[in-house]
A and B are shown apart, each in its own frame.
Chain A
Amino acid sequence: MTKMITVAPVRKTVTVQASPAHAFEVFTQGMTRWWPATHTILRVAPKAHIIEPRVGGRWYSVGVDESECDTGTVLVWEPPSRLVLVWKLAPDWQFDPNLHTEVELRFTPQGEGVTRVDLEHRQLERMGERAEQVRAQIDSTGGWGAILESFRVAASDR
Protein backbone atom coordinates (compact mmCIF):
# COMPACT_ATOMS: atom_id res chain seq x y z
CA MET A 1 0.00 0.00 0.00
CA THR A 2 1.36 3.37 -0.95
CA LYS A 3 0.44 6.10 1.39
CA MET A 4 1.06 9.66 0.40
CA ILE A 5 2.12 11.59 3.39
CA THR A 6 2.91 15.21 2.68
CA VAL A 7 4.68 17.45 5.08
CA ALA A 8 4.97 21.18 4.49
CA PRO A 9 8.57 22.34 4.04
CA VAL A 10 10.19 24.23 6.87
CA ARG A 11 10.84 27.77 5.61
CA LYS A 12 12.86 30.41 7.38
CA THR A 13 14.11 33.83 6.42
CA VAL A 14 16.76 35.90 8.10
CA THR A 15 18.22 39.24 7.03
CA VAL A 16 21.88 39.80 7.73
CA GLN A 17 24.04 42.92 7.62
CA ALA A 18 26.57 41.52 5.18
CA SER A 19 27.11 40.94 1.47
CA PRO A 20 25.78 37.70 -0.10
CA ALA A 21 29.37 36.53 -0.63
CA HIS A 22 30.21 37.05 3.01
CA ALA A 23 27.00 35.40 4.22
CA PHE A 24 27.58 32.43 1.89
CA GLU A 25 31.14 32.08 3.11
CA VAL A 26 30.20 32.15 6.79
CA PHE A 27 27.38 29.68 6.20
CA THR A 28 29.51 27.16 4.35
CA GLN A 29 33.07 27.65 5.56
CA GLY A 30 32.39 29.06 9.00
CA MET A 31 29.79 26.56 10.14
CA THR A 32 31.96 25.48 13.06
CA ARG A 33 31.60 28.95 14.55
CA TRP A 34 27.82 29.06 14.55
CA TRP A 35 26.24 25.59 14.22
CA PRO A 36 24.35 25.03 17.51
CA ALA A 37 26.53 22.87 19.74
CA THR A 38 23.47 21.11 21.10
CA HIS A 39 22.65 19.72 17.69
CA THR A 40 25.06 17.03 16.75
CA ILE A 41 24.78 13.28 16.44
CA LEU A 42 28.40 12.83 17.50
CA ARG A 43 28.93 10.96 20.76
CA VAL A 44 31.55 13.50 21.84
CA ALA A 45 31.82 17.30 21.71
CA PRO A 46 32.11 18.59 18.14
CA LYS A 47 35.38 20.13 16.99
CA ALA A 48 34.29 21.17 13.50
CA HIS A 49 31.33 21.24 11.14
CA ILE A 50 32.48 20.97 7.56
CA ILE A 51 30.88 21.50 4.17
CA GLU A 52 33.23 20.52 1.35
CA PRO A 53 32.98 23.39 -1.17
CA ARG A 54 31.86 21.52 -4.28
CA VAL A 55 28.95 19.60 -5.76
CA GLY A 56 29.03 16.13 -4.24
CA GLY A 57 31.07 17.36 -1.27
CA ARG A 58 30.46 15.93 2.17
CA TRP A 59 28.67 17.77 4.95
CA TYR A 60 29.90 16.32 8.21
CA SER A 61 30.98 16.93 11.78
CA VAL A 62 34.24 16.01 13.44
CA GLY A 63 34.39 15.28 17.15
CA VAL A 64 37.16 16.19 19.56
CA ASP A 65 38.28 12.55 19.34
CA GLU A 66 38.49 12.85 15.50
CA SER A 67 35.36 10.71 15.05
CA GLU A 68 33.20 11.81 12.12
CA CYS A 69 29.46 11.88 11.55
CA ASP A 70 27.87 12.67 8.22
CA THR A 71 24.86 14.92 7.94
CA GLY A 72 24.59 14.92 4.16
CA THR A 73 26.12 16.16 0.91
CA VAL A 74 26.29 19.20 -1.36
CA LEU A 75 23.78 19.06 -4.24
CA VAL A 76 24.08 22.60 -5.63
CA TRP A 77 27.07 24.88 -5.10
CA GLU A 78 26.47 28.32 -6.61
CA PRO A 79 28.26 30.93 -4.53
CA PRO A 80 27.30 33.54 -3.56
CA SER A 81 23.61 33.10 -4.30
CA ARG A 82 22.49 29.53 -3.87
CA LEU A 83 23.31 26.35 -2.01
CA VAL A 84 21.40 23.08 -1.79
CA LEU A 85 22.41 20.53 0.81
CA VAL A 86 21.08 17.01 1.11
CA TRP A 87 20.09 16.22 4.70
CA LYS A 88 20.35 12.49 5.35
CA LEU A 89 19.46 12.23 8.98
CA ALA A 90 16.54 9.86 9.50
CA PRO A 91 13.75 10.34 12.04
CA ASP A 92 15.79 8.32 14.52
CA TRP A 93 18.64 10.82 13.87
CA GLN A 94 20.87 8.21 12.33
CA PHE A 95 22.67 8.95 9.07
CA ASP A 96 20.87 7.13 6.28
CA PRO A 97 22.69 7.23 2.90
CA ASN A 98 19.41 6.45 1.12
CA LEU A 99 17.45 9.28 2.65
CA HIS A 100 17.19 12.44 0.57
CA THR A 101 15.69 15.61 1.99
CA GLU A 102 16.87 18.98 0.70
CA VAL A 103 17.93 22.12 2.48
CA GLU A 104 18.07 25.02 0.03
CA LEU A 105 19.61 28.37 0.88
CA ARG A 106 19.23 31.47 -1.22
CA PHE A 107 21.31 34.56 -0.54
CA THR A 108 19.61 37.60 -2.09
CA PRO A 109 21.12 41.10 -1.95
CA GLN A 110 18.78 43.68 -0.42
CA GLY A 111 20.88 46.77 -1.09
CA GLU A 112 24.37 47.66 0.04
CA GLY A 113 25.70 45.24 2.65
CA VAL A 114 22.35 43.61 3.37
CA THR A 115 21.39 40.07 2.39
CA ARG A 116 18.18 38.16 2.78
CA VAL A 117 18.82 34.49 3.49
CA ASP A 118 15.94 32.14 2.70
CA LEU A 119 16.09 28.58 3.92
CA GLU A 120 13.79 25.79 2.83
CA HIS A 121 14.03 22.26 4.25
CA ARG A 122 11.81 20.20 1.98
CA GLN A 123 10.78 16.64 1.07
CA LEU A 124 10.27 15.92 4.75
CA GLU A 125 7.62 13.37 3.79
CA ARG A 126 10.50 11.17 2.68
CA MET A 127 11.35 10.84 6.32
CA GLY A 128 7.82 9.51 6.56
CA GLU A 129 8.43 6.88 3.89
CA ARG A 130 11.50 5.98 5.84
CA ALA A 131 9.46 5.92 9.04
CA GLU A 132 6.95 3.66 7.30
CA GLN A 133 9.76 1.34 6.20
CA VAL A 134 11.14 1.21 9.69
CA ARG A 135 7.67 0.52 11.00
CA ALA A 136 7.07 -2.23 8.44
CA GLN A 137 10.35 -3.87 9.41
CA ILE A 138 9.52 -3.65 13.08
CA ASP A 139 6.03 -4.96 12.39
CA SER A 140 7.35 -7.95 10.49
CA THR A 141 9.87 -8.76 13.24
CA GLY A 142 7.07 -8.31 15.74
CA GLY A 143 4.94 -10.64 13.66
CA TRP A 144 7.58 -13.33 13.53
CA GLY A 145 8.41 -12.72 17.15
CA ALA A 146 4.78 -13.29 18.07
CA ILE A 147 4.62 -16.51 16.02
CA LEU A 148 7.84 -17.83 17.57
CA GLU A 149 6.66 -16.86 21.01
CA SER A 150 3.40 -18.81 20.63
CA PHE A 151 5.46 -21.70 19.29
CA ARG A 152 7.72 -21.51 22.33
CA VAL A 153 4.72 -21.41 24.66
CA ALA A 154 3.09 -24.32 22.85
CA ALA A 155 6.35 -26.29 22.84
CA SER A 156 6.93 -25.64 26.56
CA ASP A 157 3.47 -26.91 27.47
CA ARG A 158 4.62 -30.48 27.24
Chain B
Amino acid sequence: MAYEIALAALADPTRRRVLEELRHGPRSVGSLAGRLPVSRPAVSQHLKVLKEAGLVFDKSEGTRRIYHIDPKGLAAIRRWLDQFWDEALSAFQAEVERKTREDKERDQ
Protein backbone atom coordinates (compact mmCIF):
# COMPACT_ATOMS: atom_id res chain seq x y z
CA MET B 1 0.00 0.00 0.00
CA ALA B 2 1.35 3.42 -1.04
CA TYR B 3 0.01 4.86 2.18
CA GLU B 4 2.01 2.47 4.34
CA ILE B 5 5.19 2.94 2.29
CA ALA B 6 4.93 6.72 2.62
CA LEU B 7 4.23 6.41 6.32
CA ALA B 8 7.25 4.16 6.84
CA ALA B 9 9.38 6.54 4.78
CA LEU B 10 8.35 9.46 6.97
CA ALA B 11 8.97 7.57 10.19
CA ASP B 12 12.67 8.34 9.88
CA PRO B 13 13.66 11.78 11.27
CA THR B 14 16.46 12.29 8.73
CA ARG B 15 14.06 11.66 5.88
CA ARG B 16 11.68 14.21 7.34
CA ARG B 17 14.63 16.65 7.44
CA VAL B 18 15.36 15.87 3.78
CA LEU B 19 11.74 16.67 2.89
CA GLU B 20 11.89 19.87 4.93
CA GLU B 21 14.96 20.95 2.96
CA LEU B 22 13.28 20.16 -0.36
CA ARG B 23 10.30 22.23 0.70
CA HIS B 24 12.56 25.28 0.23
CA GLY B 25 13.34 24.25 -3.33
CA PRO B 26 14.87 21.49 -5.45
CA ARG B 27 18.34 20.35 -4.40
CA SER B 28 21.09 18.00 -5.49
CA VAL B 29 22.37 15.19 -3.26
CA GLY B 30 25.53 17.20 -2.58
CA SER B 31 23.58 20.28 -1.57
CA LEU B 32 21.37 18.23 0.76
CA ALA B 33 24.39 16.49 2.31
CA GLY B 34 25.90 19.92 2.97
CA ARG B 35 22.81 20.95 4.92
CA LEU B 36 22.30 17.79 6.93
CA PRO B 37 24.49 16.01 9.44
CA VAL B 38 24.71 12.88 7.27
CA SER B 39 27.01 11.64 4.51
CA ARG B 40 26.27 11.82 0.80
CA PRO B 41 25.72 8.07 0.47
CA ALA B 42 23.27 8.21 3.40
CA VAL B 43 21.41 11.10 1.74
CA SER B 44 21.24 9.11 -1.50
CA GLN B 45 19.83 6.15 0.36
CA HIS B 46 17.17 8.31 2.05
CA LEU B 47 16.26 9.91 -1.28
CA LYS B 48 15.83 6.47 -2.80
CA VAL B 49 13.37 5.53 -0.07
CA LEU B 50 11.50 8.84 -0.42
CA LYS B 51 11.32 8.37 -4.19
CA GLU B 52 9.92 4.88 -3.84
CA ALA B 53 7.34 6.27 -1.45
CA GLY B 54 6.26 8.86 -4.06
CA LEU B 55 7.33 11.77 -1.89
CA VAL B 56 10.12 13.08 -4.15
CA PHE B 57 11.08 12.82 -7.82
CA ASP B 58 14.35 13.57 -9.56
CA LYS B 59 15.36 15.22 -12.81
CA SER B 60 18.71 15.27 -14.56
CA GLU B 61 20.35 18.65 -14.95
CA GLY B 62 23.59 18.07 -16.79
CA THR B 63 25.50 15.50 -14.80
CA ARG B 64 23.58 16.16 -11.61
CA ARG B 65 20.31 14.77 -10.38
CA ILE B 66 18.09 17.36 -8.80
CA TYR B 67 15.48 16.24 -6.31
CA HIS B 68 12.07 17.86 -5.98
CA ILE B 69 9.11 17.35 -3.65
CA ASP B 70 6.53 15.30 -5.51
CA PRO B 71 3.13 16.99 -5.42
CA LYS B 72 1.64 13.54 -5.46
CA GLY B 73 3.14 13.46 -2.01
CA LEU B 74 -0.13 15.24 -1.42
CA ALA B 75 -0.96 11.90 0.01
CA ALA B 76 1.32 12.94 2.83
CA ILE B 77 -0.56 16.19 3.25
CA ARG B 78 -3.85 14.37 3.26
CA ARG B 79 -2.50 11.97 5.86
CA TRP B 80 -1.34 14.88 7.96
CA LEU B 81 -4.81 16.46 7.77
CA ASP B 82 -6.42 13.13 8.53
CA GLN B 83 -4.41 12.80 11.73
CA PHE B 84 -4.86 16.46 12.49
CA TRP B 85 -8.65 16.32 12.33
CA ASP B 86 -8.70 13.15 14.43
CA GLU B 87 -6.79 14.92 17.12
CA ALA B 88 -8.75 18.16 16.80
CA LEU B 89 -12.15 16.44 16.98
CA SER B 90 -11.16 14.39 20.02
CA ALA B 91 -10.12 17.58 21.77
CA PHE B 92 -13.36 19.24 20.63
CA GLN B 93 -15.42 16.31 21.93
CA ALA B 94 -13.70 16.43 25.32
CA GLU B 95 -14.33 20.17 25.56
CA VAL B 96 -18.02 19.95 24.56
CA GLU B 97 -18.66 17.22 27.07
CA ARG B 98 -16.69 18.93 29.81
CA LYS B 99 -18.84 22.03 29.39
CA THR B 100 -22.07 20.04 29.18
CA ARG B 101 -21.18 18.20 32.37
CA GLU B 102 -20.38 21.42 34.20
CA ASP B 103 -23.60 23.04 33.01
CA LYS B 104 -25.62 20.07 34.26
CA GLU B 105 -23.86 20.10 37.61
CA ARG B 106 -24.56 23.81 37.94
CA ASP B 107 -28.23 23.34 37.04
CA GLN B 108 -28.74 20.67 39.70
Contact = CB atoms under 8 A, between A and B. Distances in A.
Given A138-B68, A142-B26, A128 B93 contact: no
B71 A22 contact: no
Given A7-B74, A124-B81, A125-B74, A18 B97 contact: yes
Q: What is the predominant secondary structure among interface residues of chain B facing chain A? A: helix
Interface residues of B, number: 32
A36 B68 contact: no
A34 B71 contact: no
B26 to A, nearest CB: 6
A146 to B, nearest CB: 6
A91 interface: yes
Interface in A74-129: 91-92, 113, 117, 119, 121, 124-125, 127-128
Contact of B92 (A10, A26, A121): A26
A127 B69 CA distance: 14
Contact of B23 (A16, A92, A117): A92
Interface string A24-56: 001100100111100100000000000000000
A23 interface: yes
A142 B60 CA distance: 12
Interface of A: 5, 7-8, 10, 12, 14, 16-18, 22-23, 26-27, 30, 33-36, 39, 91-92, 113, 117, 119, 121, 124-125, 127-128, 131-132, 135, 138-139, 141-142, 146
Interface of B: 23, 25-26, 61-62, 66, 68-69, 71-72, 74-75, 77-78, 81-82, 84-97, 99-100
